Amino acid sequence: MAEFIATQPRVVGLGLKLFGRRIFPELPFEEAFFLPFVRQFRKALSMPLILLGGVNRLDTIEGALDEGFEFVAIARALLGEPDLPNKMRDHERSAGLCVHCNKCTPTIYTGTRCVLVTPLPGA
């Protein structure tokens, strides 16, 4: 929350200091957190669907594809490891390094990146 507040205009930052924890509660991370919900859509629809939401492991990707999802999004995992799909394909890694800390979220205003592995632009 502190990182997010620091990126906001002063009045918005003040509002977040006062109400931020109510608006954005801390939730424990769960791999593929939308999967139980999106399975309902997969059963009811015949159109291509993309699974997204906290996907960071190869076994999750393979399982989703086996269930009939045409695509799997791993956007957040790619912020710090743009070559992750190649590493998974080459059996160098079965999971991304993303720890789902959400510290990338405030960087949408300064160039979205993983702050744990990617320095500030121009630094």
* pLDDT 10s digits, 37-58: 999 999 999 999 999 999 999 9
In the structure, what pLDDT confidence band is assigned to residue 25 with cuts at 50, 70 and 90?
Answer: confident
Residues 47 and 105 in one domain: yes
- Residue 48 confidence (pLDDT): 94
Residues 6 and 52 in one domain: no
Mean pLDDT of 75-100: 93
pTM of the prediction? 0.78
Q: For residues 47 and 104, give the distance between their C-alpha atoms in angstroms, rounded to a whole number.
A: 32
Domain count, the chain: 2
Residues 23 and 35 in one domain: no
DSSP designation for 110? T
**Which residue is it, tokens 């939308």?**
34
Q: DSSP letter string over 46-90?
A: -S--EE-SS--BHHHHHHHHHTT-SEE--HHHHHH-TTHHHHHHT
Residues 67 and 19 in one domain: no
- Residue 122 confidence (pLDDT): 56
Question: Computed from CA positions of residues 40, 45, 51, 53, in that sequence, does the dihedral angle turn out positive or negative?
Answer: negative
Residues 58 and 18 in one domain: no
Q: Find the domain containing 10 and state its range.
A: 1-27
Residues 46 and 71 in one domain: yes
- Residue 121 confidence (pLDDT): 55
